[in-house]
């Protein structure tokens, strides 16, 4: 039998279907936005009574949070977000999009100021857009837009909560008192019970294994590592032409970078084509027209441009925002800096490695390090004997009762001439005729 509905949690048009419980955890990224779209579509198809988002995040990409926000606002199924325990930054924006917000004791929501890849405050243009998103989302669900804006702009004061100059973050009780949260409950099961849906079936919706893998590979940190793999591998492969380990590493990095983004709809096919054409031009510059001319410069520009476009994501016919471009440029620049550091480090320290020395030929094998072509027989030095053949300038002679290959020091020497050994170096035995 269904329990009475908590007045502040009452939602109209609740269906008779199951309760869909969908997690929003970790970094907010574009892969998560794709997953939320699928979860909402599955809930609608199943005739779900409500979608309960279980949130615990410190934020992520503003663009991804905006996509999730729009999906939740447009969802035909009623939505409730249960914050357990964090809804910071982009998580706050997503929470405001739900029909109802419930927060766990000890939880918090707020601090939604946009920052760049270096952790610094984004430009005023980006902050203004973030304020408008928070304000519009709060208004859409009947919440105080001034409180939502104060989570983005520290110049806005909230009487009794935060002063001017302090970025707003709310505890569970503060969020309830200010009307941001509709209830403070300890668990998702309590949320379902207070919605009056305890007798309904509950379906735990999770990302598939492929989606989790794609989300991992599509994260900005992993994307930087994969770009380092493909560019570093390509650099070392061009330094030592041939299909070897660097080339394989570059191919794997490119495949793991572009494939997840393409499957998630974040990369267009033309971006992959531009990257491949750029690589072919670089290879042509090395193997066909050695040097660094038009083909090499064009290929490098096309490779970098394709990576930038892939990091920015699809924006349709609209030009990407300054925040998107700066974030993509920062990620690409970080990968390039790491590649330079890696190349310098490997070039300086790897050749000295004992393990690496077993894989390559040493450029110099000096006698001071013990490398000789043959052992020197010093006992021959000063001995006399007779030539068995003419020395023109090399030939054979009999020394100490044995045949030895010798070489005349200066003039040719006839066979049968008495000779004297004047120098011995390895297998080289120099002789000269003995005066009568």
Q: What is the pLDDT of residues 103-154, one digit of tens each?
A: 999 999 998 887 755 556 767 777 888 899 999 999 999 999 999 999 988 8
Candidates 2.40.50.140, 3.40.50.2300, 3.40.50.980, 1.10.357.10; correct CATH number of 378-433? 2.40.50.140
Cis peptide leading into residue 158 (ω within 30°): no
Dmax (CA) for the chain in angstroms is 131
Looking only at the bridges linking them, the beta strands covering 428-433 and 384-387 are unpaired
Q: What is the pTM of this model?
A: 0.64
Domain spans in the chain, listed from the N-terminal domain onward: 7-207, 211-349, 378-433
Find out whether 72 and 94 touch, Cβ atoms under 8 Å: yes
Residues of the chain with pLDDT under 50: 1-2, 315-318
Are 7-207 and 378-433 equal in CATH topology?
A: no
Cis peptide leading into residue 91 (ω within 30°): no
Q: Which residues in 336-349 are b (16+ Cβ under 10 Å) and which e?
A: bebbeeeeeeeeee
How many other β-carbons are positioned within 10 Å of the β-carbon of residue 257? 26
Which of 415, 417, 401, 391 minimizes the C-alpha distance to 429?
391
Q: In whole angstroms, what is the distance from residue 71 CA to residue 345 CA?
A: 47
CATH class of domain segment(s) 7-207 = alpha beta
Find out whether 263 and 38 touch, Cβ atoms under 8 Å: no
Q: How many residues does the chain have?
A: 436
């Amino acid at each position: 039998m269904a329990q009475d509905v908590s007045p502040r949690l009452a939602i109209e048009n609740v269906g008779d279907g199951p309760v869909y419980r969908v997690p929003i955890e970790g970094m907010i990224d574009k892969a998560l936005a794709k997953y939320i779209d699928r979860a909402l579509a599955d809930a609608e198809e199943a005739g779900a009574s409500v979608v309960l988002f279980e949130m615990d995040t410190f934020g992520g990409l503003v663009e991804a949070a905006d996509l999730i926000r729009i999906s939740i606002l447009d969802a035909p199924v009623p939505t409730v977000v249960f914050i357990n325990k964090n809804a910071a930054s982009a998580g706050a924006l997503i929470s405001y999009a739900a029909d109802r917000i419930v927060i766990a004791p000890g939880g918090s929501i707020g601090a939604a100021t946009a920052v760049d890849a270096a952790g610094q405050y984004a430009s005023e243009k980006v902050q203004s857009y973030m304020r408008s998103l928070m304000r519009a989302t709060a208004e859409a669900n009947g919440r105080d837009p001034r409180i939502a804006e104060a989570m983005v702009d520290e110049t806005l004061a909230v009487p009794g909560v935060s002063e001017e100059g302090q970025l707003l973050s709310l505890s569970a009780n503060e969020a309830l008192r200010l009307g941001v949260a509709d209830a403070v409950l300890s668990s998702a099961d309590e949320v379902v019970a207070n919605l009056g849906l305890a007798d309904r079936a509950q379906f735990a919706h999770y990302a598939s294994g492929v989606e989790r893998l794609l989300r991992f590979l599509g994260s900005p940190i992993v994307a930087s590592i994969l770009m380092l793999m493909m560019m570093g591998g390509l650099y070392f492969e061009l330094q030592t032409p041939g299909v070897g380990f660097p080339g394989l590493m570059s191919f794997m990095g490119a495949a793991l970078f572009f494939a997840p983004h393409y499957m998630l709809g974040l990369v267009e096919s033309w971006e992959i084509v531009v990257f491949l054409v750029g690589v072919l031009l670089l290879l042509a510059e090395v193997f066909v027209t050695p040097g660094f001319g038009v083909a090499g410069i064009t290929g490098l520009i096309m490779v970098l441009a394709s990576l930038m476009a892939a990091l920015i994501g699809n924006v349709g016919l609209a030009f990407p925002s300054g925040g998107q471009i700066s974030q993509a440029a920062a990620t690409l620049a970080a990968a390039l800096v790491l590649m330079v550091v890696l190349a310098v480090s490997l070039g300086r320290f790897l050749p000295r490695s004992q393990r690496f020395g077993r894989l390559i030929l040493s450029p110099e094998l000096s006698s001071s390090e013990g490398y000789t072509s043959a052992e020197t027989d010093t006992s021959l030095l000063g001995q006399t004997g007779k030539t068995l053949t003419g020395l023109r300038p090399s030939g054979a002679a009999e020394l100490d009762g044995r045949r030895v290959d010798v070489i005349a020091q200066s003039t040719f020497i006839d066979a049968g001439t008495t000779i004297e050994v004047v120098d011995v170096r390895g297998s080289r035995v120099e002789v000269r005729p003995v005066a009568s």
